[in-house]
Structure 1
Amino acid sequence: MDTRRALERLIAERGEDYAGLSRLIGRNAAYIQQFIKRGTPKVLAEEDRRLLARYFDVPEAMLGGPTAEPERGGDHVEVPLLAVGASAGPGALPDDERPRAHIAFDRKWLRAMVAGDVEQASIIRVEGDSMVPTLADGDEILVDGSDAADRLRDGIYVLRADDALIVKRLAVNPAARTVTIRSDNPAYPEWPDCDLSAVNIVGRVVWTGRRLV
């Protein structure tokens, strides 16, 4: 079954619509319909294919991807735990961004968590209380370095500001090309309407772990 027929069948079986799926992958509302009905584009872009396969929970091969993923190290990926903190407060200076340890994650689990290349994932420690109750001081956060400024949307990100790392919640205004930088702790101020070009995005926070005491 070719890619277009497979995608059309999935849409019909799941009760989805073309416009909604197009918006899901960040495209214009007619994108999926044009792909299926008109053959434009000829093939799905790699990132579009990955997002659709993940959404429908099907192998990428069904949508035109490779039939098997290269092993690249087997069933696990060693994600670096960096010797820096991302401040949920005034800002942590990244004096040493070399890994101080590595944590092994199941490759399939990690691919489901990150948007792109699993090799661009890293783990950073949270410092401070400005993101309480979502993130607490000492939490370890998984940062997807492949999901940064080019796919920016509402969510929690690690930013670099004046050589300091901070972790904040971003609310994007695509029409004005501005972003509001917020803390989840209401005791901290927000920075509204910041120019997108002035915000240095390190990556999106996709998972957190903490020690129970």
Structure 2
Amino acid sequence: MTLYPFLRRDPLDVTASTAAKARESLELRLRVIDELGPALAACAVEVAAALRGGGRLFAFGNGGSSTDAESVAGLFTAAGLPAISLACDTALVTALGNDVGFEVVFARQLAALGGPGDVALALSTSGGSPNVLRGLAEAARLGMVTVGFAGSGGGRMAQDRLAGHLFVVPSSSVHRIQEAQATLYQLLAELVSADAR
């Protein structure tokens, strides 16, 4: 019980806390759609054109963002569009991490698989993960369309302008950032799938 002190709280307090978090999440999602919607629509046009031209989408991130990268790839693939999550191949990710260095696990995959006309979509709550930043830099070097999702002010992803299309969620809460990012990338997938065929 010491690891989970909230389990001893009054159920009414837990309910009120959950309702407050749900309201905060909804307000943030509506805000990012309102503020970032036009930029997301412009991004969707470029991504759809790349995929129509034979390009593929490569999504990547760490931890919870790697799960989001899998969700992105699943959304695009379910719509009949070519997409891969670079975090899915555990053997390759751990081999590169062990043999070369964890900071290159996405850049190396993009160097081997990506090229001009492809799309690199990076997810990071901090905008500062070294392997995500290296992946974006490699994607830009290869002439790929680069899309970044970050939070907390955008971190180095924003400072170094590593993504041609950058969507920064204005929050410092990892939970709220990932919830808002999920709304944005789901909307992006819908917009792209409507335009890419």
TM-score (norm 1): 0.24
Say which structure is richer in helix: 2
Say which structure is richer in strand: 1
Structure with more relative contact order (C-alpha pairs < 8 Å, separation 6 or more): 2
